[in-house]
């Protein structure tokens, strides 16, 4: 191998990419700071240049702490560009506001920054007359290159799925990781492999004690197939307490993963107006039926799941309030107990957490892990259940 062949390939990227930092600063200029210079759009050929490493495009951290914020803003522009490329129908301003949790003006500045950096961005109009923007495939060039962190996250997620006995999904993710590694350009692979090996050695997964339900891959595959075809499934279901079995047609709406894994489904004969949970471990057999069904557009799996503290659903919602002692308030503040939670720090250093949900039994199980450091303020039913 010659010396020239031994050198890493130099990435060719649009000249305009060098303006990411300037545009990020321009999104929120400091008082009295001049506007950043305009970055002229570059043509695919004449406006390119060779640089040794695309990761050198991020801004340097400046003394005084301002660099971290500029890193974040530059990252958001790159993330938006990746989202615009991934979205088949493009992104509207409303999409940008929702995904990045920003206001309309910031969303407009972020969009304008992407348009200036990537002149090949396509502007389209949807059926509802809203404008949207999309970046064609491969237009981002080396920005699409995967990092060691990306691959390590895939490997770690596959290990987590294995730990939860979701082996079919873990195998699928491992297959995706192998395909991704095989598609890397030689220069990217040489850069990524040493860091990936270090990350995989340094990041372990703690085993969660306790039993894990065994989930057969054919059950998951049948549910997935039925959901995609919008067809009912016929299951032979075993009740956990009585061990009795019965057959039933179900309309599958999704799967909830937790300490136990559940099929979320409606039944035309038994409960056509609301969804119920069926433990995957209690499904003895399953097949995709010939009967099609029309999915209820008003049903949201996310909203259904957020009703409960854990997974198990109850018809009644409770206004819940817990008080954590000052000794553990800092730790409790780092937890997301429920998506609707409100945290109130008290003058004595204690912390009150409020949310609305069902699932008192699972709340009680969790509160036992905090011992005497937590007090149930409401509801009285949970207070009695926890023996307080």
SS3 per-residue string spanning 111-130: HHHHHHHCCCCEEEECCCCC
Contact 92/126 with Cβ under 8 angstroms? yes
Backbone angles phi and psi of 216, in degrees to 5: -80, 140
Domain with CATH 2.30.30 in the chain: 217-306
- Residue 56: CB atoms within 10 Å: 10
Per-residue confidence (pLDDT) for residue 380, from 0 to 100:
94
Compute the C-alpha angle 138/142/145, nearest 5°: 95
pLDDT digits (tens, 9 = 90+) for 244-301: 888 899 999 988 877 678 899 998 877 777 888 898 888 999 999 999 999 888 888 8
- In which band, very low, low, confident or very high, does the pLDDT at 35 lie, cut at 50, 70 and 90? very low
Contact 245/238 with Cβ under 8 angstroms? yes
Q: Which residues pair with 282 in a beta bridge?
A: none
Domain with CATH 3.30.70 in the chain: 318-385
According to CATH, the topology of domain 217-306 is SH3 type barrels. (2.30.30)
Q: The domain at 318-385 falls in which architecture?
A: 2-Layer Sandwich (3.30)
* Rounded mean pLDDT, 165-178: 82
pLDDT digits (tens, 9 = 90+) for 47-81: 333 333 333 333 433 444 444 445 567 778 888 98
Whether residue 319 is preceded by a cis peptide bond, meaning omega within 30 degrees of 0, is no
- In which band, very low, low, confident or very high, does the pLDDT at 210 lie, cut at 50, 70 and 90? low
Per-residue confidence (pLDDT) for residue 127, from 0 to 100:
87
């Amino acid at each position: 191998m010659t010396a020239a062949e031994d050198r890493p390939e130099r990435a060719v990227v649009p000249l305009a990419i060098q303006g990411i930092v300037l545009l990020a600063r321009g999104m929120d200029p400091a008082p009295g700071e001049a506007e950043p210079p305009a970055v002229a759009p570059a043509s695919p050929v004449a406006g390119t240049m060779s640089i040794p490493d695309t990761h050198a495009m991020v801004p340097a951290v400046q003394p005084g702490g301002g660099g971290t914020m500029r890193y974040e803003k530059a990252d958001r522009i790159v993330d938006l560009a990746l989202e615009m490329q991934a979205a088949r129908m493009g992104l509207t301003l409303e999409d940008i506001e929702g995904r990045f949790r920003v206001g309309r003006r910031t969303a407009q500045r972020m969009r304008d920054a992407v348009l200036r950096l990537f002149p090949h961005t396509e502007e389209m109009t949807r059926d509802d007359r809203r404008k949207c923007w999309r970046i064609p495939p491969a237009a981002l060039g080396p920005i699409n290159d995967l990092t060691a962190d990306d691959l390590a996250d895939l490997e770690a997620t596959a290990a987590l799925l294995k730990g939860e006995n979701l082996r079919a999904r873990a195998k699928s993710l491992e297959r995706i990781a192998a395909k991704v590694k095989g598609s890397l350009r030689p220069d990217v692979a040489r850069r990524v492999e040493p860091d990936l090996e270090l990350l995989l050695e340094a990041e372990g997964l703690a085993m969660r004690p306790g039993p894990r339900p065994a989930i057969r891959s054919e059950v998951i595959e049948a549910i997935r197939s039925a959901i995609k075809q919008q067809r009912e499934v016929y299951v032979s279901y075993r009740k956990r307490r009585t061990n009795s079995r019965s057959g039933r047609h179900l309309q599958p709406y999704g799967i909830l993963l937790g300490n136990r894994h559940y099929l979320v489904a409606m039944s035309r004969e038994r409960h056509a107006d609301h969804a119920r949970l069926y433990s995957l471990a209690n499904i003895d057999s399953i097949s995709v039926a010939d009967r099609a069904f029309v999915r209820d557009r008003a049903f949201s799996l996310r909203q259904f799941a957020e009703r409960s503290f854990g997974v198990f659903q109850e018809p009644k919602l409770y206004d819940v309030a817990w008080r954590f002692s000052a000794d553990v308030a800092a730790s409790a503040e780092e937890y997301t107990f429920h998506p609707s939670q409100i945290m109130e720090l008290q003058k004595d250093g204690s912390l009150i957490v409020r949310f609305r949900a069902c699932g008192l039994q699972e709340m009680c199980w969790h509160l036992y892990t905090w011992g005497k450091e937590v007090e149930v303020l409401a509801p009285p039913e949970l207070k009695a259940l926890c023996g307080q």
